[in-house]
A and B are shown apart, each in its own frame.
Chain A
Amino acid sequence: MQAQATQIIHAYKQAPWRVQRQWVGAFLLFVITASLVAALYLDVTARAAVAGRGIQELRIEITAIQRANADLGTQLADLTSTSVMELRAIQLGYRPVKPGELDYVAVPGFVAPEPAILLAAEDVSNPETILPEEYTQSLIEWFDERIKFGGAK
């Protein structure tokens, strides 16, 4: 009885169609895995490329805005220059004040203002901001990093 059962198992294992199916299964598994990796790689690469392009465009936009900002500041200074303001004041009927025409009022506790901090000062105190690596490294580089550093990084 036991010998018969062993023969049946042996026959099942040795069945050619079963061996072939194992090979086909293994091959399909490999193909599917490779496809998944390729799709993932393409997705990550495409997103990184889009993000990179976006960064390039934003950088160009920042430069243009900074340039426009400087232009507007200079235009404003042109419009409020001493000669222009003096001319406008005269056209509006004003004239320079004379010392005898001034009244001084004592304000207790008043301290004459010192030149204030100009808010136009750009804050670039953290100029070393670096893009996250996810935006720049390839899948291979990511694998390489994981192999080298594991999950530590």
Chain B
Amino acid sequence: MRRQYAIRSLTLLAGFGLVALAVIVQMIRIQNSEQAAIFLSQGDQYAGEFRMFYPERGEIYDRNGHLLAGNRTVYEVGVSLRDMEDPESLAYILGTYLGLTYEEVFKKLIESPESWSYVVIQDYVDVNTAAALQQLVGQMEDANDFRLDGMAFKPHFQRSYPETSLASNVLGFVTRDGRGYFGIEEKYNDLLAGNPVQVWVPRDPNKATEIPRVPNGTTLVLTLNRDLQAKVESILDESLVEYGAQNGVIVVMNPRNGEILAMATTPRMDLNNYSNYFSLYNDGSQYNRSIGTAYEPGSVMKVLTMAAALDAGIVTPQTTFVDTGSIQVGGFTIQNWDREAWGQQDMTGCLQHSLNVCMAWISTQMGPQTFYGYMERFGLGHPTGVDLAGEAMGRLKMPGDSDWYNIDLGTNAFGQGVTATPLQMLMAASAIANDGRMVTPHMLYSMLRDGHQYNVPSQYGGSPITAQTARTLSQMLAVSLEAESSGALLPGYRVAGKTGTAQIPTDFGYDENQTNASFIGWGPVDDPQFMIYVWLSAPTSSIWGSQTAAPAFSKVAEQTVILLNIPPDNVRLQIASR
């Protein structure tokens, strides 16, 4: 009996052992089969996904913390084809809410390739529309109606400009591909955009590894003063209407450190609707004319010519010149703007009456080497290095260039035959307003990153003239404005400056009827805190800068002293003397 029992037990044991062995063999065989490798790789695909984390684009503020460029949430509305229950209902609802046709949506849902599991119906859907759709889906699910199953919403950021067109020429814009164009958005695109990070995100919560925090793009604080920018833009727009000008530029800069406080140009565009770009601008140089368009500035250039002559010791303020109304340079006759002879003048008189003949005489006295040496040191023909995309550098013809002629020495002295952008002129003249030290204009005040603020130091472009020359010329320019009771004067404040009226060159010579009216000025003269450049293109009410650009300067200066809290000279000097 016992033996029989033992045989049965052994038989059973052997049977179970064989089965167990067969299971183990089969397990090993399956795990090492070709199919297993395929299944494993398929399983890995569902274990998680590589996800790209795009940082929030850095914001842009003005110097007082007003947001100029931020981000707002929009939605990508799509359909998960695997979860889709009723394409007809989805097509009808999505078409109605998103402004699409039923057929358009239905075709996307039905005719998508089989390998697709998700199809985008519309991107950049605003928050309100997405919320209404989400609410509808929720209500239907509550009622156990699953016809809208599969509808999906993916939120992401879109660039937003709360001030719409304010400072649009400075800021630039960001397209839907996330790239910045023009201005700050293009210049600092890499900083603002930050660094996207690709991370493997497992679905298994046991493997919930820490996704690295993706730092936002760098936030930028500009030197711009929003309120002053708004005022300057308003004055520019009014000036265009009042003087019948085609386009214009007004730039306000701090001559001590190169901070640009306002930069207005026309036309401007609503940055939230950047598709208008092509209807407003013929080419990129027009987007911000203060840096992108070089033009013949005319008599404002006389400031630089006089600075060079004073600094080189060719003339002093008391040097006299007998103006006969014309001068021969390089075989050509140069005349004054009114074709009149102004008789004996000192150098202040030459500036006050804006005498071309006097300036041509000065430049010939200096000679080309000295004159162009100074003009180069003033930065003409070179970009200013301003931190805005799309800067032009103008043209300063030099002796030896194939298109330079002897007469250029005479005409360049009063701003003909030489081109510069308004910002180049401001930079050059900053040497006069800033005791001989030329500042590099800049727009970036500081950067905010990782909880730290990094202030951008001011940069200087050399000292083309001495401090003594700068002060002397400032006084001469202030006196010349006062002597002619210029429209640029600002009651209570002593300002220095110079008008410019330049005929516009065409392919057939200079246009007799159209001019570029300009004014460059700064104040208060004894302690300059602002520099203003005004350029009105082709004004029709008057062709003269003294009657168009100069009054515009005065209006801008008036708002500048208010918004920058600059007291009148008598009050300021009274305070300083205590």
Contact = CB atoms under 8 A, between A and B. Distances in A.
Interface string B63-82: 11111001111000000000
Contact of A118 (B65, B160, B567): B65
A50 B208 CA distance: 10
Contacts of A68: 73
Contacts of B568: 99, 104
Given A104-B567, A127-B215, A99 B492 contact: yes
Interface residues of B, number: 59
B391 to A, nearest CB: 25
B163 interface: yes
A82 B230 contact: yes
B558 A99 contact: yes
Contacts of A116: 65
Given A52-B205, A67-B157, A106 B446 contact: no
Interface stretch (A4-12, A24-32, A130-138): A130-138
Interface residues of A, number: 51
B209 A121 contact: no
B453 A117 contact: yes
A125 interface: yes
A48 B205 CA distance: 8
B157 A49 contact: no
Contacts of A71: 72-73, 127
Interface string A107-148: 000001001111011111101111100011010000000000
B448 interface: yes
Given A81-B163, A131-B208, A70 B219 contact: no
Interface string A78-104: 101111001000000000010110101
A56 interface: yes
B162 A136 contact: no
Interface in B522-578: 558, 561-562, 565, 567-568, 571, 574-575, 578
Given A53-B205, A124-B450, A136-B209, A115 B227 contact: no
Interface in B29-86: 56, 59, 61, 63-67, 70-73
B562 A97 contact: yes
Question: Chain A CB within 10 Å — which of B65, B226, B574 has the most?
Answer: B65
Given A74-B67, A78-B162, A121 B453 contact: yes
A136 to B, nearest CB: 6
A118 B215 CA distance: 17
A82 B227 contact: yes
B453 A118 contact: yes
Nearest to A56: B208
Contacts of A124: 213, 215-216, 450-451
Contacts of A131: 208-210
Contacts of A36: none
A70 B227 CA distance: 23
A55 interface: yes
Given A55-B208, A82-B163, A122-B216, A70 B65 contact: no
Contacts of B67: 73-74, 76-77
Interface string B145-156: 000000000010
B66 A77 contact: yes
Contacts of B565: 104, 112
Nearest to A63: B155
A130 B157 CA distance: 27
Given A120-B219, A123-B451, A115 B63 contact: yes
Contacts of B127: 71
Contact of A99 (B71, B163, B212, B561): B561
A115 B65 contact: yes
Contact of B448 (A50, A112, A118): A118
B211 interface: yes
Contacts of A51: 205, 208
Given A112-B565, A130-B210, A77 B205 contact: no
Contacts of B571: 104
A99 B163 CA distance: 27
Contacts of B56: 66, 70
A124 B66 CA distance: 23
B257 to A, nearest CB: 11
Nearest to A46: B206
Nearest to A80: B66
Given A74-B70, A97-B562, A104-B571, A52 B207 contact: yes
Nearest to A104: B567
Contacts of A56: 205, 208
Nearest to A124: B215
A13 interface: no
Contacts of A122: 215-216, 450-451
Given A82-B226, A127-B213, A74 B162 contact: yes
B331 interface: no
Nearest to A115: B63
B137 to A, nearest CB: 18
A74 B66 contact: no
Interface in B217-244: 219, 221, 226-227, 230
B491 interface: yes
Interface string B181-217: 0000000000000000000000011111111111110
14 contacts: A52-B207, A53-B208, A74-B72, A76-B67, A77-B70, A77-B163, A99-B558, A100-B492, A106-B575, A115-B446, A118-B61, A123-B451, A136-B206, A138-B206
